[in-house]
């Protein structure tokens, strides 16, 4: 991404694939916080047929392109603005194989033809996300339990959009991960800094609900590119706050002309069950994995050597 010509070619594809996690600013900011380098690979430098921007680190003598926890889908852009053909995907994968010893890619939902990867010896693992049409996002479309909870608890909270929610969200994210016995993607202070750095771009918006003591009980960070919004980071205290927040949030987004809300993952059972109760549509996507040798496969599976 440091090369002006390569960066220009990548950004020329922006209008064809405007998802925020493919934006240069998001990629370079994440790379800095995770100690990575952004590298752009073009499968056809003349026509920009298919390109990817990867977050790369050095491992011993090798280059490793790993999927970061805050990058839900790989930064992929296609000149045709559609899922690539097997031949186009194969051309890109061949370039990646020559450059990287280990690679992880999360293909965007809709890019479900992974035959080219399987034929080349890559592994493909199915993953899922939920997407909600905002025209069918009101409580009348939900399951009974969240619908009743929302109507009962709604008056207890005040819905806000406020950039100043960044510290509260970082703390709520840390606490939510702890309850699920998982490590947060970044330490709380660093996560707060990341949010504050991305807010001026307009790609990130923060929403929350506060109680009668003006204390945020739930907050979310959305990555946005109208008419789509992505549920990027979220945290809440136990109770009805997140249900109230989502109900209020979807009304706001629909009024602003947004159409699709992506929950960004439905792969952790308890969290997926919470999301399912709002009656979203289940969408399939794939994680592609490549190891140049058995040694690289071993390194992938030994936590101390990753």
- Give the least confident one: 15-19, 101-105, 197-201, 260-264: 15-19
Name the E strands within 10-101: 37-42, 50-59, 62-65, 75-78
pLDDT tens track for 1-12 = 888 888 888 887
Confidence of residue 300 (pLDDT cuts 50, 70, 90): low
Distance CA 191, CA 182 (A): 16
pLDDT at 305 over 50: no
Percent of the chain's residues with pLDDT above 90 = 71
pLDDT tens track for 201-242 = 999 999 999 999 999 999 999 999 999 999 999 999 999 999
pLDDT at 107 over 60: yes
Give the pLDDT of residue 148. 96
Give the pLDDT of residue 304. 46
Percent of the chain's residues with pLDDT above 70 = 92
- Per-chain mean pLDDT for the chain: 90
Name the E strands within the chain: 37-42, 50-59, 62-65, 75-78, 102-106, 123-133, 158-161, 204-210, 216-225, 228-236, 260-262, 281-291
- Mean pLDDT score, 5-21: 78
Distance CA 232, CA 212 (A): 27
- Mean pLDDT score, 76-104: 86
pLDDT tens track for 154-176 = 999 999 999 999 999 999 999 99
Give the pLDDT of residue 2. 81
pLDDT tens track for 276-285 = 999 999 999 9
pLDDT at 80 over 70: no
Peptide bond between residue 227 and the one before it cis (omega within 30 degrees of 0) = yes
pLDDT tens track for 128-157 = 999 999 999 999 999 999 999 999 999 999
Closest CA to 203 of 247, 163, 176, 237: 163
Structure tokens at 151: 């109507």
Confidence of residue 302 (pLDDT cuts 50, 70, 90): low
> Exposed (0-12), middle (13-18) or buried (19+): which is 145, by Cβ within 10 Å?
exposed
Distance CA 95, CA 254 (A): 41
pLDDT at 50 over 90: no
Confidence of residue 17 (pLDDT cuts 50, 70, 90): low
Give the pLDDT of residue 230. 97
pLDDT at 265 over 70: yes
């Amino acid at each position: 991404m440091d090369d002006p010509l390569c960066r220009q070619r990548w950004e020329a594809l922006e209008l064809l694939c405007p998802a925020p996690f493919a934006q240069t600013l998001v990629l370079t900011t994440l790379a800095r916080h995770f100690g990575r380098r952004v590298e752009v690979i073009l499968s056809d430098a003349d026509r920009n047929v298919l390109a990817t921007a990867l977050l790369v680190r050095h491992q011993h003598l090798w280059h490793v392109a790993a999927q970061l926890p805050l990058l839900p889908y790989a930064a992929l852009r296609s000149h045709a603005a559609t899922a690539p053909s097997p031949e186009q995907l194969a051309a890109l994968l061949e370039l990646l194989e020559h450059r990287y010893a280990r690679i992880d890619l999360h293909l965007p939902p809709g890019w479900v033809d992974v035959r080219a990867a399987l034929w080349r010896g890559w592994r493909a693992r199915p993953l899922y996300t939920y997407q909600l049409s905002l025209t069918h996002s009101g409580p009348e479309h939900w399951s009974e339990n969240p619908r009743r909870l929302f109507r009962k608890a709604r008056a207890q909270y005040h819905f806000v959009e406020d950039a100043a929610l960044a510290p509260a969200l970082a703390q709520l994210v840390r606490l939510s991960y702890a309850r699920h016995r998982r490590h947060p993607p970044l330490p709380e202070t660093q996560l707060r800094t990341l949010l504050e750095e991305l807010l001026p771009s307009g790609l990130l918006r923060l929403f929350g609900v506060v109680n009668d003591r003006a204390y945020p009980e739930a907050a979310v960070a959305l990555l946005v590119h109208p008419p789509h919004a992505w549920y990027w980071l979220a945290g809440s205290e136990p109770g009805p706050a997140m249900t109230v927040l989502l109900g209020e949030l979807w009304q706001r987004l629909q009024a602003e002309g947004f159409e699709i809300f992506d929950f960004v993952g439905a792969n952790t059972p308890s969290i997926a069950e919470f999301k399912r109760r709002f009656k979203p549509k289940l969408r399939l996507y794939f994680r592609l994995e490549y190891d140049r040798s058995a040694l690289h496969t071993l390194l992938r599976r030994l936590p101390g050597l990753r």
